Amino acid sequence: MIEKRAIPNTFVEPHRPIEFLTENGFSIIRLSDIDKSIPAVGATHEFLVRDPHEYELNITVQVSSDTIAEIVRRSRGRISKESSYWISLAERHLATYLWENDDYPPDANLKVDNLTLDDIDLARRWDRET
């Protein structure tokens, strides 16, 4: 008698990072999702951005110390400098820049030095654990 058994697939697809897609066709990937040696916390964040023509460029987003101080103050210390809030803020500002300018930031760098109402609202809702 021959038994039929399910044989598990030994090929496992590697972890695919989450892509943030803008309405005008840019794709943003957090480099910290690809390379675990790149920190996902702090004031500086790196992203791999692909334009609609498949050209890729690494973009650095720097959150200013004044912006960090403002959010820490408004959150009454609930959001620290080591919170994942900052990579989310950097990613959203990069996406907004790409959408509004339909191009990469000059010199592949973007500085976040102004808060939006959405930034403040997100900070208000951000969980201390994240």
Residue 7 has pLDDT above 60, yes or no: no
Residue 130 has pLDDT above 80, yes or no: no
For 51-96, the pLDDT digits (tens) are: 999 999 999 999 999 999 999 988 888 898 889 999 999 999 999 9
Predicted pLDDT of residue 13: 54
Q: Which residues of 87-125 are buried (b: 16+ CB within 10 A; e: fewer)?
A: bbbbbbbbbebbeeeeebbeeeebebeebeeebeebbee
